[in-house]
């Protein structure tokens, strides 16, 4: 009997280092979770409330000068559901507490700076949950697959990224990295749907079909990312994404864990509560 519960915590069952090679990964699987779609949806509703409470606590602390923050880094092939995570997981909390940034092909201005420039400009302030829809990892994914810069340049970036994330964590940002993995067949079905539905044309990019020819090269590039940048201070999680209900549940759970680990409490009043009660009572 499934009861819709995690048998292994998501941060362990989905940790890149716990899972085998990405090329053999089952995008239909639900590692660590015992339950079906209706169980998962019911649990997300419940856990979403807890997530919202924790986010409010983070925000309240930010307002009181705590500069800690959380950064969710979303990567994944086209159609993997990154936008759905932003809407359905980000959408569970007060939007004022979020700082969402999507990273597309670099603009001429962005290209004139080092690859982390646009990333640094988008980091969440204290009290916020930042969400990156694509990230600095694009600079070792499409850039590596297509050698958009010489190999010597992208090779050096793994270390630069690790150092950058180390600093970020030291400055009080909890970094949660999630790679959404969709199967090649499921991607084909999702692209076909975009072509069948006028309300989805806007998401379709003819270039996405060209990228399918580089599927194996992308898997290799993702494997290199996991091998070289899955650190204990900024861990990678691999999120099977063929079942959208599961990827949303899993990422909500990872964010809850990140927030719980901050061990926050409500900031104390910076005024005399009794005095203010008396003033209020005495007011008209
Ligand atoms: P989308 O997420 O559908 O809006 O697409 C954004 C596109 O920008 C994708 O094709 C990404 O691979 C591409 N992109 C994002 N960052 C970079 C980068 N640093 N270098 C090259 N392409 C990038
Ligand atoms: Mg796209």
Q: Is residue 1 part of a domain?
A: no
Q: How far apart are CA 22 and CA 257, in angstroms?
A: 24
- For 85-97, b/e burial (b = at least 16 CB within 10 A) is bbebbbebbeeeb
3-state secondary structure the chain: CCCCEECCCHHHHCEHHHCCCHHHCCCCCCCCEECCHHHHHHHHHHHHHHHHHHHHHHHHHHHCCCCCEEEEEEEECCCCCHHHHHHHCHHHCCHHHEEEEECCCCCHHHHCCCCCHHHHCCCCCCCCEEEEECCHHHHHCHHHHCCCCCHHHHHHHHHHHHHHHHHHHHCCEEEEEEEEECCHHHHHHHHHHHHHCHHHHHHCCHHHHHHHCCHHHHHHHHHHHHHHHCCCCCCEEEEECCCHHHHHHHHHHHHHHHHHCCCCCCCCCCCCHHHHHHHHHHCC
pLDDT in tens, 80-122: 999 999 999 999 999 999 999 999 999 999 999 999 999 999 9
| Number of domains the chain is built from | 1
Confirm whether 28 is domain-assigned: yes
- Quote the pLDDT of residue 211: 96
- Which atom of ligand 1 is nearest to 115's Cα? 19
Q: At what angle do helices 244-260 and 37-63 cross, to 10 degrees?
A: 30
Please give the distance of CA 137 from its chain centroid, rounded to a whole number.
12
CATH for 254? 3.40.50.300
Of all atoms in ligand 1, which is nearest to the CA of residue 133? Answer: 2
User: Which of the ligands is closest to the CA of residue 210?
Assistant: 1
Of all ligands present, the nearest one to the C-alpha of 214 is 1
Is 5 within the bounds of a domain?
no
Q: Is residue 201 part of a domain?
A: yes
The pLDDT > 90 percentage for the chain reads 98
Assigned token pair, 96: 């004022």
- Kindly give the distance from the C-alpha atom of residue 260 to the centroid of ligand 1, in angstroms, as a whole number: 32
Average pLDDT, the chain: 97
Expressed as residue numbers, the domain containing 164 is 10-282
Integer Cα distance of 90 and 130 in angstroms: 10
Residues 6+ apart with CB under 8 A from 205: 78
Question: Closest Cα partner for 161 from 138, 142, 180?
Answer: 138
Provide the pLDDT for residue 45. Answer: 97
pLDDT of residue 150: 98
pLDDT over 70 (residue 74): yes
- Residue 223, domain member (yes or no): yes
* Residue of minimum CA distance from atom 3 in ligand 1: 78
CA of 78, nearest ligand number: 2
Digit-coded pLDDT (tens) for 162-193: 999 999 999 999 999 999 999 999 999 999 99
Q: Measuring from each residue's beta carbon to the nearest atom of ligand 1, which residues come in under 6 Å?
A: 103-106, 134, 138-139, 142-143, 148
pLDDT digits (tens, 9 = 90+) for 122-138: 999 999 999 999 999 99
Residue 112 confidence (pLDDT): 98
The best mutation among 108, 142, 191 to test binding of ligand 1, ranked by most ligand atoms within 8 Å of the C-beta, falls on 142
Q: Is residue 2 part of a domain?
A: no
In a domain, 3, yes or no: no
Residue 74 lies in a domain: yes
**Residue 3 has what pLDDT?**
67
Q: In this structure, are strands 129-133 and 236-240 parallel, antiparallel, or unpaired?
A: unpaired
**Distance from residue 11's CA to the centre of ligand 2 (Å):** 27
Contact 37, 245 (CB under 8 A): yes
Q: Is the pLDDT of residue 1 over 80?
A: no
Answer yes or no: pTM beyond 0.85: yes
């Amino acid at each position: 009997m499934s009861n819709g519960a995690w048998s292994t915590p998501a941060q362990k069952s989905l940790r890149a280092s716990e899972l085998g090679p990405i090329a053999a990964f089952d995008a239909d699987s639900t590692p660590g979770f015992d339950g079906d779609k209706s169980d998962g949806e019911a649990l997300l509703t419940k856990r979403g409330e807890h997530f919202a409470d924790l986010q409010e606590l983070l925000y309240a602390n930010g307002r009181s000068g705590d500069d800690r923050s959380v950064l969710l880094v979303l990567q994944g092939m086209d159609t993997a559901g990154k936008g759905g995570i932003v809407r359905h997981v980000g959408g569970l909390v007060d939007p004022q507490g979020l700082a969402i940034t999507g990273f597309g092909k670099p603009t001429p201005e962005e290209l004139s700076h080092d690859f982390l420039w646009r990333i640094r400009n988008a980091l969440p302030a204290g009290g916020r949950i930042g969400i990156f829809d694509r990230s600095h990892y694009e600079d070792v994914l499409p850039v590596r697959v297509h050698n958009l810069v010489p190999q010597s340049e992208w090779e050096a970036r793994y270390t630069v990224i690790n150092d950058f994330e180390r600093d970020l964590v030291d400055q009080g940002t909890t970094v949660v990295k999630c790679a959404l993995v969709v199967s090649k067949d499921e991607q084909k079905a999702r692209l076909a749907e975009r072509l069948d539905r006028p309300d989805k044309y806007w998401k379709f990019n003819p270039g996405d079909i060209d990228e399918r020819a580089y599927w194996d090269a992308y898997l290799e590039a993702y494997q290199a990312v996991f091998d070289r940048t899955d650190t204990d201070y900024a861990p990678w999680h691999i999120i099977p994404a063929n079942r959208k209900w599961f990827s949303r549940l899993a990422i909500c759970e990872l964010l809850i864990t990140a927030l719980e680990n901050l061990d926050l409490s409500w900031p104390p009043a910076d005024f005399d509560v009794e005095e203010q009660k008396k003033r209020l009572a005495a007011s008209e």
